[in-house]
């Protein structure tokens, strides 16, 4: 067995697939949910602005609300829960994270002020704010899927839903942009096999 085959991280990455059939009625222990959400929040983000919120949809009533929002994709009703990954369109408001670093003596206040100025400048562009929300929240989404898999759960990332209806049904404030839904639960059936393009088609070395 090669070193690569023994590596737990690579095994989890290669075994994660989009599972659509779940054991219904399986209630995820709170501790596992917290572990998954913590892994999500450990994703990297530009300027460490942590451009995400995680809306956990878990009660039967909320699942029934979500089902038509997700065009009746049954995994939203049958999985243990769905995490709606939201991107923060006003992540420049999260610069409070730098204040903690200044107070801890880890960052000079002049540097904090310069960074806050740069960030607020960048957030003058709604397109840049939206791109950042999607980019950074997507990294958190991948952490959710890998953390869930490593705990013995399966997931399905989904953009097949109406963002407008999700916002309306779950009272999501204007500040947040729905990026992706992720169902999480115990697989009843494995994912459908999915191939990948060979690296010879997807990798370019040294320029096109």
Ligand X SMILES: Cc1cc2nc3c(=O)[nH]c(=O)nc-3n(C[C@H](O)[C@H](O)[C@H](O)COP(=O)(O)O)c2cc1C
Contact residues for ligand X, defined by CB under 6 A: 17-18, 20, 73, 156-160, 180, 191, 194
Distance of closest approach, residue 142 Cβ to ligand X, in angstroms: 9
Is 72 exposed, middle or buried, given 0-12, 13-18 or 19+ CB atoms closer than 10 A? exposed
* Closer CB to ligand X, 18 or 101, in the complex: 18
Select the residue whose beta carbon is closest to ligand X and give its number.
160
Dist. CA 82–CA 57, nearest whole Å: 5
Nearer to ligand X, 119 or 145 (CB): 145
The dihedrals phi and psi of 187, each to the nearest 5 degrees, come to -65, 135
Q: Is 90 exposed, middle or buried (0-12, 13-18, 19+ CB in 10 A)?
A: middle
CB of 121 to ligand X, least distance (A): 30
Query: Shortest approach of ligand X to residue 184 CB, angstroms?
Result: 14
Q: How far is the CB of 43 from ligand X (least distance, A)?
A: 15
Q: Are 106 and 193 a contacting pair, CB within 8 Å?
A: no
Q: Which is nearer to ligand X, 82 or 92 (CB)?
A: 82
Which of 119/156 has CB closer to ligand X?
Answer: 156
Q: Give, in degrees to the nearest 5, the angle at Cα 183 between 138 and 181.
A: 40
């Amino acid at each position: 067995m090669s070193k690569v085959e023994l590596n737990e991280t690579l095994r989890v990455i290669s075994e994660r697939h989009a599972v659509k059939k779940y054991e219904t009625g399986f209630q995820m222990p709170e501790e596992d949910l917290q572990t998954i959400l913590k892994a999500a929040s450990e994703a990297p983000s530009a300027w460490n602005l942590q451009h995400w919120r995680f809306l956990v949809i878990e009660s039967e009533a909320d699942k029934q609300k979500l089902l038509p929002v997700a065009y009746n994709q049954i995994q939203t009703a049958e999985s243990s829960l769905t995490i709606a990954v939201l991107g923060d369109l006003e992540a420049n408001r999260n610069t409070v994270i730098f204040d903690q670093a200044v107070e801890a003596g880890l960052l000079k206040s002049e540097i904090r002020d310069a960074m806050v100025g740069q960030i607020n400048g960048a957030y003058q562009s709604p397109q840049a704010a939206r791109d950042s929300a999607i980019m950074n929240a997507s990294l958190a989404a991948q952490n959710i899927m890998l953390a869930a898999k490593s705990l013995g759960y399966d997931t399905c990332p989904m953009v097949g839903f109406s963002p407008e209806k999700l916002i309306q049904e779950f009272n999501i404030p204007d500040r947040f942009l729905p990026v992706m839904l992720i169902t999480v639960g115990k697989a009843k059936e494995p994912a459908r096999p999915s191939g990948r393009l060979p690296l010879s088609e997807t990798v370019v070395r040294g320029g096109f």
